[in-house]
Amino acid sequence: MMREKLEKLGWRADFERRLEGHDAGSAFPVRVISISRDTCALAGEAGELKGVLSGKFYQDDKSLPVVGDWVLVRATGDDGLSLVTELLPRRNFLSRKTPGKRAAEQVMAANIDVMFIVQDVLRLNVPLAERYLALAGGSGISPVIVLNKCDLDSNAADTVRDLAGRIPGRDIVALSALTGEGLDAIACRVPAGATACLLGPSGAGKSSIVNRLLGNERQRVARVRDDDLKGRHATTSRELFFLPGGGMIIDTPGMRELMPWDAAGLDESFGDIDALAAECRYTDCRHDSEPKCAVRKAAENGMLSPGRLENYLRLKREMAFLESRVDEKARMEKKRKDKELARLIRDYNRRRDDIK
């Protein structure tokens, strides 16, 4: 039986099925609203709770909960604190390569229905928008490109049209968080029980959009720097907010650069190029210098944006390099474990010989 209060938090029949037959004992499901250093804010049938993670989450690289996750909690005897005991399987999630040189995955948010890719219309970065689309691709999350601050651009309509030509078949919304124009187009895409996520670079106006949707100044906003026109980080952590219409939206810190962790969404997000590639002479065509390349021909005759093709090939190279880094990391870890096992066997044999 569906739980009415949890359903308003995004609980669905598939979560209920995963819970059936699960020996939860006295534990009950709640949703993660925000996470701080030592505690997390949770929401469930009993309202909002404060939780702490059980020790097993810090052992054996166990996946840690993120905003949007469903977890099981137990009472601790302290009315103000609950113990998070288990992470329920995710319906989907957004993850990227961790910033820096380390080849590791960072899960940013989970159980999302729609992803708003927010950019400042005056500083539109199309390749970055395509990266965000690759992030959503293959995850079951519906992406929507939001061009904010359209009140400052008299050519906003032309920008939307040009972007639609560069990235065909995508949902694009022109918005002004300042005036509220276009806000209804955002709100209607987050019906009751649905969860949206705002992603984009600093200064794009994500927190301003959240404040507009909520009808109050919940999120701190920061002015764009005058010297280089770059945004400043106003949001420093991810948090889920409840909208007046019953939907939910996750605000996230700004990201100027993004490396999707999984290449599975690349072909889906560049479906037009994937369709053209089927007409190439060679099935393993790299769309570089191979003869009778349908993709390169489409870029030459204007059917495909050369910039879109260039970004696609760049992403393919970066994802291939990341995959090689991950494979090398796995190989080195296996080598380390093999050495450790060999050492244990040698020690065992040595002790056995000493006993003899």
Give span(s): CATH 1.10.40.50, the chain: 270-356
Q: Which residues contact 11 (CB under 8 A, 6 or more apart)?
A: 2, 3, 29, 31, 70
Pairing relationship of beta strands 114-120 and 142-148 according to DSSP bridges: parallel
DSSP state of 104: -
CATH number of 270-356: 1.10.40.50
C-alpha 217/C-alpha 331 separation (Å) is 50
Among 200, 213, 186, 177, which Cα is nearest to 253's?
200
Amino acid, res. 314: R
Q: What is the pLDDT along the chain (356 residues), one digit of tens a residue?
A: 458 889 999 998 888 887 776 666 788 999 999 998 778 999 999 889 999 998 888 776 568 899 999 999 998 777 678 999 989 999 999 988 877 777 778 889 999 999 999 999 999 999 999 999 988 887 889 999 999 999 999 999 999 999 999 998 899 999 999 999 999 999 999 999 999 999 999 889 999 999 999 987 655 554 544 454 444 445 557 899 999 999 999 999 877 667 777 777 788 888 899 899 999 998 889 898 889 999 999 999 989 999 999 999 999 888 888 877 775 666 666 667 767 777 777 776 777 667 66
Encoding tokens for residue 247?
């939907």
Burial class (CB in 10 A: 0-12, 13-18, 19+), 114: buried
Give span(s): CATH 2.40.50.140, the chain: 4-87
| pTM of the complete model | 0.81
The residues that bridge with 241 in the sheet, in sequence order, are 249
Among 48, 20, 52, 14, which Cα is nearest to 35's?
52
Q: Which of the four CATH numbers 2.40.420.20, 2.60.40.10, 3.30.505.10, 2.40.50.140 does domain 4-87 have?
A: 2.40.50.140
CATH number of 93-251: 3.40.50.300
Give span(s): CATH 3.40.50.300, the chain: 93-251
Long-range contacts of 322-327 (CB under 8 A, 24+ apart): 322/97, 322/103, 322/259, 322/261, 323/263, 325/103, 326/103
Encoding tokens for residue 310?
């260039």
